[in-house]
Amino acid sequence: MSYQNTAEPSFGLSAEDAKSTFRGFIARTMQTVSANSMGARRLASVRSLQAKTDAELGALKIGRDDIVDHVFRDVYYA
């Protein structure tokens, strides 16, 4: 005869493994949210610079063809 404990469901994970899995899920979710917000800020910056005149870009020492490189300079040239 076997006895079953129905007070705690068992999904094949220990409580510590379940906590670790949940923490990993939360960490990945936060990384995704952060990456999305960073991407939105960079896109807004690109659009803002594209809206400037060539004279305004010249004052900033940015060529029109270099706008994306300028906005993403820390990613590409880090």
Q: DSSP letters along 11-63, please? A: -S--HHHHHHHHHHHHHHHHHHHHHHHHHHHHHHHHHHHHTS-HHHHHHTT--
For 37-56, how does the pLDDT look when each residue is reduced to its tens digit (9 = 90+)?
A: 888 899 999 999 999 999 99
pTM over 0.75: no
Q: What is the pLDDT along the chain (78 residues), one digit of tens a residue?
A: 666 666 666 567 788 888 888 999 999 999 888 888 888 899 999 999 999 999 999 999 999 999 999 998 888 765
Per-domain residue ranges of the chain: 15-76
